[in-house]
Structure 1
C-alpha cells in the first residue's frame, strides 16, 4: 500500500466505505482483515472464472494472486470473486450443449451484479475458455469502469511418437477408431498425452481467438495473451494489469 489518501468523493466505493453511516459496512471489512488505509483506497474487483470443470480454468486462481499484488502496488484494495463457466470441450456432444451459449450472459450478469452490488471502482477480469472470455469482456463494457482483461493462456501441446498432438487430434482419432483404423489401446494412449497441462484448447479456436481480440480492442495489455497457461512469466502480466487498473 502507499501512503496516498485518495479522494473517493466520486468513486462508487464511497457508498460502502465513507462516512459515519457506513460504520456497519466497515465492520464487515475489518472482519476480513482489511486495514483502515485499504478501506479508504479505491476498491478493485478481481474476477475469475476459476473452477475445476476443465483445464482452461484451473490456473486462473493462481494468476489472480499476481493481479492482487499489482493492485496493492498501485495503491488499491483488491477484492477477489469468482463466477461460473461452461466449457465447450466438456459440454459438447450431449445435453450440456444447451448450457454453453447461455453461460456467456450469465458470466456477464454475475460479474456486473457483484461489481454494482459491492460498489467496486475498477475491475480486472481473468477468463480462460470460449464463453468466459466474451462474457467477462461484456461485463467490462456494460460497467464502464476502469477495466483490464487477462487471458488465462493456452494449453501446451502434448507429445506422441515425436510429434505435437492437441485435443483436435483426439477428436479426429475418435473417427479413426469408429472407422476401424485405430485400436482401443492407441486411442487410450493419445487421450492421455494430448492435454498435458492447464490452459485453453491448443489451437486457433474461440478462446485463443478472443484472446487476440481482447488485445486488439484495448481491453488487455499488449502481448499479455501469448504466454501459455503454465508459464510463470504470465505473472508479470497479472502484476502489470493490477497496477495499471
Structure 2
C-alpha cells in the first residue's frame, strides 16, 4: 500500500482536529489510518435520473468497508437537462458541469482524500467526474448508474424524449395536446437517465471506452442485477487502484481518448461527447485536438449500432446484445488495446470476455450499418475552429446545402420567423450570440429544430448556430457549436449578414461563408445584445472564465497545454477565405 496523503501527523493541529471530527461521527480509531475514499454522489429529488443514487451510495459504503477502506459520501450539484433547463433558457446546463468539477475539488482536495468513486447519472455528471479525475489525479472509478425503465420498453407509446419532442412540436403547430399529460405519466417507469442513446448513455459508454469504468457496465438498466454487480466490481477495482497507486492520467491518455472517439462514432453517440471529451483531455493534461480526431477517425470508423434516437432499436435491446463492451470488442482492430483500465488490465484483456456482435442489433466491422460518420465535424471559413452536425443511422439524406443566411439573435425569434414567413425553403437560419461566452452558458436550439420538423421544413431549411442542441437531434441539415463563436472578436460568424451565401458540405466536412474576404474585413464588428439576462451571478462569472469549445469550454486557460486564453485563440484563427 502506498503512503496515504490523508494520514496527517496524528498530533498535528489538523491531524488532531480531524480525529476529533471523525471520532464524533462514530468512526473507529482503527479506521482512521485506512485509505479514505470519497463517494461522489449527485443525488437530487429534482429528477428521476438521481432518485436511486442514495441507495447506491449506501451499498458502496458497505462494500468499501468490507474491502478495508474508509468511505465518505460527498454531494455536488445535480443538473437535469429536462428540469434545470427552465431557468434562463437552459444556460445553467453546461456551466453546471464545471461547477460539479469544482465541487469535487473543494471537498476531495480540501480534505486530502486518497481516492474517489463517482456515481455518474445525467448528462453533465459523467464528464464532470472524468474531468475531476484528470484534474485531481487520484485513483478514481466512474460508476454508470443506469437508464430508466421507459414506457416504450413496456410497449406503451412514449418515453420522456418522445414526450418532449411531441410537446415542442405541438407548441408550434397548435395541435391539441390532450393526450400529452397521459403520455408523460407513462413515459418514465423507474429511476435513471433517459433511455435513449443521447448524452447520458453516450457518456457512460465513453467512461468505459476510456478505461475509467469497469468493462461491461454501460449501458445498464438502473437498479438491475447487472448494475448492482457493476457497483460491487467498481468498489473492488478502486481498492486495486489504491493498492497499485494507478492514477487517472495513466489511464486517460491520447490513445484512450481516441478509443472513446471511435466508440462514439461507431454507435452514433451524442454530439455533446466532443466538447466533453475535449474538456476531459484538457483536465488530464493532454495535448490532443478531439474535434480533429472526430473529423479524421470518422472517415474510417464503421457504424455498428442503430439505437434510438438514431435508429429503431431500444437501449434495452442494445444492452442485451452486449452494449458498449461488444461494440468495443468488434472495434478492437481499430483501437489501442494496450490502453489500461481501472481493473488493472489492458483494454484488450478486459474485452476478451465480451460477447461477439449478433449481426442485427450490433453489427460487425465487416458488415456495418454504414460507413458515413454519424457525427460530422466540419471546418471552413465560417468555422475555422470547427462545428458539428449529427446524422441518422444509416444516413440517406442530402450531403450538401447552400443558401442565403437569415440572421437571428435568439431561438424564439427564429421560431417566430417560421410562422411569419421570414424563413423560407432554401434559407440557412443563423442563430448566433448564444455560445459559451455569448449566451453566456451556451443556448439551446433544439426547440427551433423541432419547430422545423413540425412545419415540414426540416430538410429545406438549414441551421447554423454557435449554440448547442440536444443529443436527440439527428435529422435535417443542422450545424451547431460553430467555433469561434460570434462573441469572439473577429469571428466569421459574427460578421455574417442577411443574404450572405453559406455552404454546408458534409461529404467534404466543410462549413464556408461565400463572401469575399476584403468585404468581410470592412464590416463592422459583431456587437452582442445589450439586454442579455445572465442574472448577475454564476453565469456572469462563467462568461469571464470560460474558454473556447476548442478547449472543451473548461473554466481556465492552459497556457502550457493545448488551450490558450480566449483572446489568443481569436487572434490565431485562420483568415476568412471564400470557398467556391
- Contact map agreement 2:149 2:195 (CA 8 A) in 1: yes
Partner residue, 2:380: none
Q: TM-score, normalised by structure 1?
A: 0.88
Structure 1 alignment gaps of length 5 or more:
1-5
- Contact map agreement 1:153 1:199 (CA 8 A) in 2: yes
- Contact map agreement 1:74 1:244 (CA 8 A) in 2: no
RMSD: 2.0
- Go from structure 1 to structure 2 and tell me whether the alpha carbon gap of 1:123 and 1:205 turns closer, same or farther (over 3 Å shift): same
- Contact map agreement 2:157 2:183 (CA 8 A) in 1: no
- For residues 161 and 105 of structure 1, the distance between their equivalents in structure 2, rounded to whole angstroms, comes to 36
Aligned pair count reads: 235
- Counterpart of 2:25 (choices 3, 23, 32) is 32
Corresponding position: 1:137 with 2:121? no
Partner residue, 1:236: 229
- Contact map agreement 2:97 2:124 (CA 8 A) in 1: yes
How do 1:199-214 and structure 2 match up within 5 A?
A: 199-214=192-207
- Counterpart of 1:116 (choices 109, 118, 122) is 109
- Counterpart of 1:192 (choices 170, 182, 185) is 185
- Alpha-carbon offset, residue 177 of structure 1: 6.8
- Go from structure 1 to structure 2 and tell me whether the alpha carbon gap of 1:96 and 1:28 turns closer, same or farther (over 3 Å shift): farther
- Alpha-carbon offset, residue 91 of structure 1: 2.9
- Alpha-carbon offset, residue 227 of structure 1: 2.2
- Contact map agreement 1:159 1:194 (CA 8 A) in 2: yes
- Alpha-carbon offset, residue 84 of structure 1: 0.3
Corresponding position: 1:74 with 2:67? yes
- For residues 36 and 156 of structure 1, the distance between their equivalents in structure 2, rounded to whole angstroms, comes to 43
- Alpha-carbon offset, residue 161 of structure 1: 9.3
Partner residue, 1:20: 11
Deviations 1:126-171 (A, max 9, x none): 1211111111111111111110001221111115994452112202
- Contact map agreement 1:153 1:227 (CA 8 A) in 2: yes
Corresponding position: 1:221 with 2:217? no
- For residues 225 and 105 of structure 2, the distance between their equivalents in structure 1, rounded to whole angstroms, comes to 29
More contact order relative to length (CA 8 Å, sep ≥ 6): 1
How do 1:39-78 and structure 2 match up within 5 A?
A: 39-78=32-71
Q: Secondary structure at the match of 1:88?
A: coil
Query: Which deviates more from structure 2 when the two are superposed, residues 167-176 or residues 101-110?
Result: 167-176
Query: Which deviates more from structure 2 when the two are superposed, residues 60-69 or residues 222-231?
Result: 222-231
Structure 2 alignment gaps of length 5 or more:
239-580
Q: TM-score, normalised by structure 2?
A: 0.39
Partner residue, 1:166: 159
- Go from structure 1 to structure 2 and tell me whether the alpha carbon gap of 1:116 and 1:180 turns closer, same or farther (over 3 Å shift): closer
Task: Please tell me whether Structure 1 or Structure 2 has the larger radius of gyration of its CA atoms.
Answer: 2
Task: Return the structure number with greater helix share.
Answer: 1
- Go from structure 1 to structure 2 and tell me whether the alpha carbon gap of 1:25 and 1:97 turns closer, same or farther (over 3 Å shift): same
- For residues 190 and 54 of structure 1, the distance between their equivalents in structure 2, rounded to whole angstroms, comes to 17
- Go from structure 1 to structure 2 and tell me whether the alpha carbon gap of 1:93 and 1:27 turns closer, same or farther (over 3 Å shift): closer
- Go from structure 1 to structure 2 and tell me whether the alpha carbon gap of 1:166 and 1:125 turns closer, same or farther (over 3 Å shift): same
- Contact map agreement 1:69 1:242 (CA 8 A) in 2: no
Q: Secondary structure at the match of 2:4?
A: coil
Corresponding position: 1:148 with 2:141? yes
